[in-house]
Structure 1
Amino acid sequence: MTVFETAVRSEDAADLSTQHDALEDADLFSIAKRNSGNDEEESDEVEKKRQKPNDKGGTFTLKDVISLIEKRSLYRRVTKETGDVIFQQFKNRLLRHINLSLPASEISIYPYLRNTKAEISRMLKQSIVQKESHSAIIIGPRNSYKTFLIEHELELLNQEYSNQFIVIRLNGFIHSESSAIKGIATQLEEQLQKLHGVHHSFPKKEEEIPSEDGENEISKGSLTDVFERILRLLDSASQRSSGDANEKDKGITKITVVFVFDEIDTFAGPIRQTLLYNLFDMVEHARVPVCIFGNTTKINMLDYLEKRVKSRFSQRMIYMPNFSGLDDFKANVVSQMVPSGDDPITTAWLHMVEAQTRDENSSFFQELKRNYETVQSLPEWSNAVLPILSFATDLDDMRDKLGSANFTRQWRLNQLELGLTSRIQSLSELELAILIGSARVALKSKDHVINFNLVYVEYKELMKSLNSRIPTASALHPTKMFENALKIWSKRDVKNVWETLEELNLITEKSAVGLRDSAAAVFFASNYTFQGTNMPFDLRAYHSQVTLAELRRVIPKTSIYQPWTQL
């Protein structure tokens, strides 16, 4: 029972015990209000009511009745406002719990992630506290909390060891090899300046010559030189930290560098994996402790590393766990939807969620089971239940919305509108014709490569064939009826359609592919990317993301383009 439910029930009990008195008070108030203008000639009914004895042995007056009614009205209003405030506080905390935006010390890790969390925590503590060097690659699908677990542990360690480590974050979708070096240099200088409150200049060798602008930047030169400067900078910063430390911190002489590398597989594509080699080489030979976490979705990530990179890597792989069954998934859903706490409203919400997960006939359970049987994604489930919690006005409303699961079902249906089928169904007739032409050309070609010229020729032939079957007005006048003929658009107009299909990811340029299958594919893709900007628009190589058989299933049979979906 919630706090405000307890208060309301207590009030109801008091009303039941004095129901007769309350009714009489209301009657007295209404009668007195009617006769408020004639005080000298009050009715016998009012006089009789006024003579009723009160708790103190006297009689109720008109002022007593009005005061009593005002107090009860004020009590009901205060009770309702107090309940609303308590519920709003609970709802805000619940939303922050689901979004994982609470302070690090208040976040409860989901049960199926706790073993992985313990392993990551152990590695970080060995690097930060014991000053050891480690490296690991974390493998798991997207939205599987890889980066979250690392950041959560770093926040916890920052509360106790804030001046003993710095964090450098890189992302393979954002940084290339050259921009990654600049990113490391920028973050390193900012972190050291924040750590010690002073600007750290890069130590120079005697033979080093400053650049033309008078500065010796860390990112100048080859990768080997850059990483050598980084190591000397960290070593000098550690010595300064040791010299300026207090008595209790004099034993700390090294600053740990933690690299969090998202999408690390994107740097395994180039033939010379210089960045990865130097990063892993730092772990083996650096004088300062280095800890590297590489996050990827590629299960066979090690197969794409060069031998020299493999020899530097510690071969430690951390795989993100899966759910052992439906019961395990339900337990994690309950942990996701119920924040920690033993207050009455949190306990009531816990009982509601557990009751819904046990009831196999409820709409809530059916949506939960559908998630488990399809994607098994807690982030997707949190997005599905957020509308239920956001629009609820009180705990009863939240319980009703949770049981019906209408918002969850509507959210799932809206997500389906973002799929490939919905995008194809939203195309105009010209866009659909060009897409079918692309799929036909891809099926005819040997390596499934298409370009704009080939697709336009295919589109033009299909349109001519279609117009040839349109009946003429008469045999004597072999002129096609104007309103029945289909217009063949010019090449210039179709270019805009081609760009629209590219924006919708229905066709993609050949170089826009992630990890390569072989070194030859890497070499070809790298050279194509280099020459792609100089290649004419009409001749750029593309891949169709939809096959002709898939289009045949999506395009309705009533469409005039349905016959085009088979060769």
Structure 2
Amino acid sequence: MNANHMNDIRKYLKYSILNNCNFVGHERERNQIFDLIQRTIRCGESNSALLIGPRGSGKTTLVNDVLTGFHKNKSFVSDAILVKLHGLIHTDDRLALKSATSQMNLDNAVDGKVFGSFAENLAFLLACLRTGEKHTSKSVVIILEEFDLFCAHHNQTLLYNLFDISQSAQAPICILGITCRLDVIELLEKRVKSRFSHRQFFLFPCEEDSKESPLDHTIKRIECYLSLPENSRLKINGAVRKQWNTILKALLEDKKFRSTIQRLVDVDLNERTLRNILVCFFDQL
């Protein structure tokens, strides 16, 4: 393994760490979210749910992993539209609706039209997605990051209309909110709360019912980030790849290394911190 190989491996792994969407663990929650979105796309159901967990627990990574699986399916691309909104970016309903319109590729359809209300505007967007037969429509999957910040919008108009649509079956729509606030339901107005399905998924790192220890889970994550799979886009020969993976396996089994990781886990080694540590490590190679 020469210097050129090391440079190539360093570049590949840093990119992999920073852009990794593979989620390890929490199979139950992952399958539940997968089924929720799948029922909207295949069966035309309308659903709403919240994914709740502390910061750094992997909520967004889990959702992105599920969505990556759907994007590999051609039917998802043709039959569904994905809309992502973020509470820190879309600070009011006007910005959120403008971004949703753009992500739905309906800017031209809305251009020049005057709507009497927010609900009328949103209903028009969904009507534009109808295709062919009268009762067929493209499914819409809406991801609301930092969901609790949307609760601070004036009158919670956006949330009210989205949940109202999901209850009235105007169009197949799946609304998934992501938040770290355990009391997020209490932030909803009464009229909004009445239209929410109250379906909640909780994501806590290394729950008690998990079969593996926090240390084993972290070691598995490190292996996922640092191993070189055969189907990777990295152009190196098989002998170098095998040599790297052998060295990595020996490192992960080393008692001193595991003891160091255990100390980090005891402090609080969440997903974001782990990535930062690994990136800093490669910067010093």
TM-score band by shorter chain is: 0.7 to 0.9
Give, in whole Å, the separation in 2 of the partners of 1:99 and 1:222: 41
Amino acid at match of 1:299: L
Residue 346 and residue 317 in structure 1: after superposition, are their counterparts in 2 closer, same or farther (change >3 A)?
farther
Give, in whole Å, the separation in 1 of the partners of 2:125 and 2:274: 43
1:223 aligns with 2:107: no
Give, in whole Å, the separation in 1 of the partners of 2:150 and 2:17: 33
Give, in whole Å, the separation in 2 of the partners of 1:141 and 1:87: 36
Aligned to 1:94: 13
The correspondence for 2:69, drawn from 156, 180, 185, is 156
Q: Do the aligned partners of 2:80 and 2:141 also contact (CA within 8 Å) in 1? A: yes
1:126 aligns with 2:21: no
Q: Do the aligned partners of 1:110 and 1:335 also contact (CA within 8 Å) in 2? A: no
> Structure 1: 5+ residue runs without aligned partners?
5-82, 102-106, 194-198, 203-213, 244-251, 393-567
Aligned to 1:325: 214
Give, in whole Å, the separation in 2 of the partners of 1:116 and 1:337: 25
**1:163: Cα distance to partner?**
1.4
**1:290: Cα distance to partner?**
0.3
**1:132: Cα distance to partner?**
1.7
Q: How many residues align?
A: 270
Higher RCO structure, 1 or 2 (CA under 8 Å, sep 6+): 2
| Corresponding residue SS for 1:257 | strand
Give, in whole Å, the separation in 2 of the partners of 1:121 and 1:367: 35
**1:112: Cα distance to partner?**
1.8
1:359 aligns with 2:254: yes
**1:366: Cα distance to partner?**
4.4
Q: Deviations over 1:268-327 (max 9, x none)?
A: 235732221111111111332101111111011112222322221111111223124323
| Corresponding residue SS for 1:129 | helix
Amino acid at match of 1:310: K
Give, in whole Å, the separation in 1 of the partners of 2:217 and 2:57: 16
Give, in whole Å, the separation in 2 of the partners of 1:261 and 1:110: 19
Q: Do the aligned partners of 2:51 and 2:178 also contact (CA within 8 Å) in 1? A: yes
Q: Do the aligned partners of 1:371 and 1:377 also contact (CA within 8 Å) in 2? A: no
**1:254: Cα distance to partner?**
2.0
Q: Deviations over 1:329-356 (max 9, x none)?
A: 2233222322333944344333433433
Give, in whole Å, the separation in 2 of the partners of 1:171 and 1:291: 16
The correspondence for 2:139, drawn from 234, 256, 273, is 256
Aligned to 1:180: 96
Q: Do the aligned partners of 2:93 and 2:153 also contact (CA within 8 Å) in 1? A: no
Q: Do the aligned partners of 1:166 and 1:255 also contact (CA within 8 Å) in 2? A: yes
| Corresponding residue SS for 1:292 | strand
Amino acid at match of 2:142: F
Q: How does 1:371-520 map to 2 (within 5 A)?
A: 371-392=264-285
Residue 352 and residue 321 in structure 1: after superposition, are their counterparts in 2 closer, same or farther (change >3 A)?
farther
| Corresponding residue SS for 2:25 | helix
Give, in whole Å, the separation in 2 of the partners of 1:353 and 1:390: 17
Q: Do the aligned partners of 2:50 and 2:178 also contact (CA within 8 Å) in 1? A: yes
Amino acid at match of 1:308: R
Amino acid at match of 2:13: L
Give, in whole Å, the separation in 2 of the partners of 1:357 and 1:155: 28
| Corresponding residue SS for 1:261 | strand
1:142 aligns with 2:55: yes
Aligned to 1:485: none
Say what the alpha-carbon RMSD is for the aligned residues.
2.9
Amino acid at match of 2:37: L
| Corresponding residue SS for 2:178 | strand
Aligned to 1:169: 84
Aligned to 2:160: 277
Q: Deviations over 1:226-279 (max 9, x none)?
A: 2232232233xx23xx69xxxxxxxx9320111111111112235732221111
Q: Do the aligned partners of 2:85 and 2:143 also contact (CA within 8 Å) in 1? A: yes
Give, in whole Å, the separation in 2 of the partners of 1:163 and 1:110: 25
| Corresponding residue SS for 1:291 | strand
Residue 329 and residue 154 in structure 1: after superposition, are their counterparts in 2 closer, same or farther (change >3 A)?
closer
**TM-score when normalising by structure 1:** 0.43
Q: Do the aligned partners of 1:144 and 1:320 also contact (CA within 8 Å) in 2? A: yes
Q: Compare the two structures and name the one with the higher strand fraction.
A: 2
**1:113: Cα distance to partner?**
4.1
> Structure 2: 5+ residue runs without aligned partners?
207-212, 232-237
| Corresponding residue SS for 1:273 | helix
Residue 340 and residue 258 in structure 1: after superposition, are their counterparts in 2 closer, same or farther (change >3 A)?
same
Give, in whole Å, the separation in 1 of the partners of 2:42 and 2:124: 25
Amino acid at match of 1:184: A
